[in-house]
Amino acid sequence: MSSAISPLAPTEITDMPAVAGVKFATAAAGIRYKGRTDVLLAILDRGTTVAGVFTQSKCPSAPVEWCRAKLKSGKARALVVNSGNANAFTGKTGRQATALTAALAAKAAGCSPNEVFLASTGVIGEPLDATKFDGVLATLAETAAPGDWMSAAKAIMTTDTFPKLATATVKLGKANVTINGMAKGAGMIMPDMATMLSFVFTDAPISASALQSLLRDGVEDTFNAVTIDGDTSTSDTLLAFATGHAAASGAPKISRAGDPRLKAFTKALHTVLADLSEQVARDGEGARKLIEIIVEGAVSKKSARKIAMSVANSPLVKTAIAGEDANWGRVVMAVGKAGEPANRDKLSISFNGIRVAKSGARDPSYNEQEVSAAMKNPKIQIRIGLGLGKGRDRVLTCDLTKEYIAINADYRS
């Protein structure tokens, strides 16, 4: 864990309300880190539904495979998250470690191992010694209490420089329901770690299938629209749990994602996911600038996404922003290499609202001094107009600095 907090960290601590039916406890199990918590147990009341989305990696971690298999029932009673070891690329040992962890958690929580969800983040390729959880999980289950979201978010950090929390409260029917979320980030660009984890909890009474559908839609323009360095993790996990407790205060039970009563909830879920994913971008390793890339006028949203990602993942664009250089030539390059329809002579590019290029050449009204001043802002918006159609998309990333190299090259030495 880096000692210096990212300059892009939120300036206010989020005040998190409780979510009825969710209890937490954290402990220091000594997986890898010393002198800090590294295991989180969440105990979920009976009746909690669960949904999840995971890494698209062809080499997923053992916990990802475990969660995928257990998701089918749609029921959850416990979540165990450890930091320091990803339990990825650990073969049969890895599968045994997940089974043992789930068995220990199930015993502690009084449920079936099939209702236990697991996530691990940290070094890839090292066996995870799950026997370290023996005893720890039983104690955690006894002490679990509602409320301490900050401690929970801290226990799942690896090289994150700040804990990531977000919350929203909205009407479902006539009742208030709460959506709380936490995430760990930075990891997609971190040494040996390559993980992004996020957990969302709500008291809304929503069926697992409806929740799954909401989550899948919600992730598209939030977590899936963030990149730090284009390196997709073996462990990315986003789980959402709905305890249903708000039914007691009159919230209607929802079984279909298309239910019109979900409108406010869907929007609030999106807000929470967007908030968490932006915090991930703000804590990208070595990040000094938050970069928002907006592509407009593409032939489709999908095409706009590909172009935005090509720009967001370009080391030349990212280093230019680090150098506070409005280098539109590199943006042109990244648009050109995306392989999507683009017409150079219709291209326009703006940095923080100042147009630097239009119709495939430098904007005649371009003023270097004005643009240079704008580039000193900690948030840089690159707006790209393709002039071809109505496809639009937005992606968040951060700049690429020497600090990134220092962290990732010097890690094990």
Binders of a second copy among 233-262, rule CB under 8 A?
233-234
CB 286 to a second copy: min, Å:
9
Query: Would you count residue 387 as binding a second copy (CB under 8 A)?
Result: no
Query: Considering only CA atoms, which of 195, 207, 109 is closest in space to residue 159?
Result: 195
Q: Please list every residue from 362 through 381 that binds a second copy, using CB under 8 A.
A: 362
Work out whether 192 is an interface residue with a second copy (CB under 8 A): yes
**Cα 408 from chain centroid (whole Å):** 20
Quick one: 117 or 404, whose CB is closer to a second copy?
Answer: 404
Query: Shortest distance, CB of residue 377 to a second copy, whole angstroms?
Result: 16
Residues within window 135-164 making contact with a second copy, judged by CB under 8 A: none
Q: What is the dihedral of CA 205, 45, 104, 194, to 10 degrees?
A: 40
- DSSP E strand stretches across 194-251: 197-202, 237-242
Q: How far apart are CA 349 and CA 294, in angstroms?
A: 10
Give me the 321-360 binding string for a second copy, x by CB under 8 A, dash otherwise: -xxxx-xxxx-xxxxxxxxxxxxxx-x---------x-xx
Our CB check for a second copy shows the closer of 69 and 406 to be: 406
Instruction: Give the residues across from 241 on adjacent strands.
Output: 50, 201
412 binds a second copy (CB under 8 A): yes
Place of tokens 């979540």: 79
Which of 22, 25, 189, 309 is close enough to bind a second copy by CB under 8 A?
Answer: 189
From the number of C-beta atoms within 10 Å of its C-beta (0-12, 13-18, 19+), residue 181 rates as buried
* For a second copy, the closer CB: 152 or 347: 347
Q: For residue 2, state whether it binds a second copy (rule: CB under 8 A).
A: no
Q: Among 10, 242, 27, which residue's Cα sits nearest to residue 152? A: 27
Going edge to edge, which strands form the sheet with 391-398? 361-362, 354-358, 348-351, 379-385, 290-298, 391-398
Considering only 25-33, 72-80, 131-139, 190-198, which stretch makes contact with a second copy by CB under 8 A?
A: 190-198
> For residues 92 and 174, which CB has a smaller minimum distance to a second copy in the complex?
92
Structure tokens at 201: 């909890």
**Cβ 380 to a second copy shortest distance, Å:** 13
Choice from 141, 194, 204, 395 touching a second copy (CB under 8 A): 194
At 93 the three-state DSSP class reads helix
Interface region with a second copy, contact rule CB under 8 A, candidates 66-74, 191-199, 206-214, 256-264: 191-199
Distance, in Å, from the CA atom of 113 to the CA atom of 101, rounded to the nearest integer, reads 9
Nearer to a second copy, 74 or 125 (CB): 125
Mapped onto helix, strand or coil, the DSSP state of residue 373 is helix
Does 400 bind a second copy (CB under 8 A)? Our answer is yes
Q: Using the rule CB under 8 A, is 180 a contact of a second copy?
A: no
Taking alpha carbons only, the member of 197, 212, 204 closest to residue 152 is: 197
Residues 6+ apart with CB under 8 A from 264: 170, 171, 172
The least CB distance from residue 287 to a second copy, in Å, is 13
Strand (E) or helix (H) holding 156: none
Min dist CB 276 to a second copy, Å, is: 22
Region binding a second copy by CB under 8 A among candidate stretches 16-24, 42-50, 123-131, 148-156 = 123-131
Site for a second copy in 58-117 (CB under 8 A): 58-60, 86, 88-94
Please, what is the minimum distance in Å from the beta carbon of residue 336 to a second copy? Answer: 3
**306 part of the interface to a second copy, by CB under 8 A:** no
Handedness of CA 88, 90, 91, 93 (dihedral sign): negative
What is the set of active-site residues? 195
The reply to whether 56 sits near a second copy by the rule CB under 8 A is yes
Nearer to a second copy, 145 or 361 (CB): 361
